[in-house]
C-alpha cells in the first residue's frame, strides 16, 4: 500500500496550526488570566525557592497548565511548516526504485527534485498557481504516469507537445532529425549484451544503453498538446510512454536535478561517490 505522504503532511501542518491558533485565541487567554490572578495572590512568586513560588507552581500545574496536545502542536508546527514549504514548493527527495534510467541513475540513488522550475503547484491537488516554465527536451523529470496517481515515475523528456517522434531499429528521430548517438562500449551483462553510448537530446549529452539481445519496439507518434513523451535511458528495459502513453503536463511533479546519496538497501553502507548534477 502506498502512503500519501503529501496529504499526511498537509493534515499535520494545518491540524497542528489550527490547534495552536484556537488555543491561543480562546483557552490560552483564559489560562494566562488565571496565572496573572495567582501571581497577585502570591506576590513573592519571583523569589526562587520561596513558599509563594512553590505554591504558584503547584496551582499553575493543577489549574492552568497547557494541555499536552497544545504543547505538541506548538512545538511541532514550525518544523512541520518548514518541511511542508520545502517539500511542496522547493525540493523533494526521491529514491530511484528501478533500473529504467541506468546508466544515468542507478537503483538506490537518492535525488533532489526541483518543484518550482515548471511552476508552483498546490500540494495534493497539484493545481498550478504560478507558471514559471515548461519541461524541455532532454530534461529528467518525475511524474505520475497516465491513469495512476499513487507512484512516482522518473524518465527523460523525449517529445514536447506537437513533436513527431519516430523510433526505428533503436534509433530515435525527432521532427525528422536523427538524434545523434556516439557508442562507447559493448559489454556482457548477465544474459544481455549491453551497448552503452552518449545520446544528444535537446542540445545536451547524456549516457544511455541498449540491450542488443532484445528486439526494438518501432513506433511513430505525434505528441498531443499539453503532453510529453517520456523514455528511459535504459532504452530496452524501461516501462515508459511506449507502454502507457503520453504524460499530461498536470501530472509532472518536477525536474530531477542532482544525486545527493546512493544507498541500495538497509544492509549496505550509504555512499556519496555519485553525488552531482544529473545530466
Q: Where are the domains of the chain?
A: 5-88, 96-277
Specify the higher pLDDT residue, 62 or 156. Answer: 156
Average per-residue pLDDT for the chain: 89
Select which of 88, 155, 238, 241 is catalytic: 155
C-alpha cell at 124: 495534493
Catalytic site residue from 100, 115, 195, 238? 100
pLDDT-above-90 percentage for the chain: 58
The pLDDT-based confidence of 123 (bands split at 50, 70, 90) is confident
pLDDT tens digits, 200-248? 998 899 999 999 988 888 999 999 999 999 999 999 999 999 999 999 9
Integer CA distances (angstroms), 6 to 78, 148, 163, 189, 218, in order: 17, 16, 33, 38, 38
Cell numbers at residue 190, please? 548477465
Distance (Å) of CA 24 to CA 70, 74, 86, 181: 9, 10, 26, 64
C-beta separation of 204 from 72 below 8 A: no
Residue 74 DSSP SS3: helix
246-263 confidence digits (pLDDT tens): 999 999 999 999 999 999
* Higher pLDDT pick, 238 / 61: 238
Report the side by side order of strands in the sheet with 219-222: 177-178, 171-174, 164-168, 219-222
Neighbouring C-beta atoms of residue 193, cutoff 10 Å: 14
Query: Would you identify the CATH topology of the domain 96-277?
Result: Umud Fragment, subunit A (2.10.109)
* pLDDT for residue 1: 47
39 annotated active-site: no
What is the 3-class SS of 31-54, one letter each residue?
Answer: HHHHHHHHHHHCCCCCCCCCHHHH
Amino acid 40: pLDDT: 81
Looking at residue 9, its pLDDT comes to 87
What grid cell was written down for 35?
496565572
pLDDT per position as a tens digit, 32-59: 888 888 888 888 778 887 887 888 788 7
Q: Residues 132-171: pLDDT tens digits?
A: 899 999 999 999 998 876 788 999 999 999 999 999 999 9
CB 223 within 8 A of CB 161: yes
pLDDT for 2: 59
Give catalytic status of residue 224 as yes or no.
no
Distance CA 51, CA 132 (A): 64
CA distance 274 to 111: 10
Amino acid at each position: 500500500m502506498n502512503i500519501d505522504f503529501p496529504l499526511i503532511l498537509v493534515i499535520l501542518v494545518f491540524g497542528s496550526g489550527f490547534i495552536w491558533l484556537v488555543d491561543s485565541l480562546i483557552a490560552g487567554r483564559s489560562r494566562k488570566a488565571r496565572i496573572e490572578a495567582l501571581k497577585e495572590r502570591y506576590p513573592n512568586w519571583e523569589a526562587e525557592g520561596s513558599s509563594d513560588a512553590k505554591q504558584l507552581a503547584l496551582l499553575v500545574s493543577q489549574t492552568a497548565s497547557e494541555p499536552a496536545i497544545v504543547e505538541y502542536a506548538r512545538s511541532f508546527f514550525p518544523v512541520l511548516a518548514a518541511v511542508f514549504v520545502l517539500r511542496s514548493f522547493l525540493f523533494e527527495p526521491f529514491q530511484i526504485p528501478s533500473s529504467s534510467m541506468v546508466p544515468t541513475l542507478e537503483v538506490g540513488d537518492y535525488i533532489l527534485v526541483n518543484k518550482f522550475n515548471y511552476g508552483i503547484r498546490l500540494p495534493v491537488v497539484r493545481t498550478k498557481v504560478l507558471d514559471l516554465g515548461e519541461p524541455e527536451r532532454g530534461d529528467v523529470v518525475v511524474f505520475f504516469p497516465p491513469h495512476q496517481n499513487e507512484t512516482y515515475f522518473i524518465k527523460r523528456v523525449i517529445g514536447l507537445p506537437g513533436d513527431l517522434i519516430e523510433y526505428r531499429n533503436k534509433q530515435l528521430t525527432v521532427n525528422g532529425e536523427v538524434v545523434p548517438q556516439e557508442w562507447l562500449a559493448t559489454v556482457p551483462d548477465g544474459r544481455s549484451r549491453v551497448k552503452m553510448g552518449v545520446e544528444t537530446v535537446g542540445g545536451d549529452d547524456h549516457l544511455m544503453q541498449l540491450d542488443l539481445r532484445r528486439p526494438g519496439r518501432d513506433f511513430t507518434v505525434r505528441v498531443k498538446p499539453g503532453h510529453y513523451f517520456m523514455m528511459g535511458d535504459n532504452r530496452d528495459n524501461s516501462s515508459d510512454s511506449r507502454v502507457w502513453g503520453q504524460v499530461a503536463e498536470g501530472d509532472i511533479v518536477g525536474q530531477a536535478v542532482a544525486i545527493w546519496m546512493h544507498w541500495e538497501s538497509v544492509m549496505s553502507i550509504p555512499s556519496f561517490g555519485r553525488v552531482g548534477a544529473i545530466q
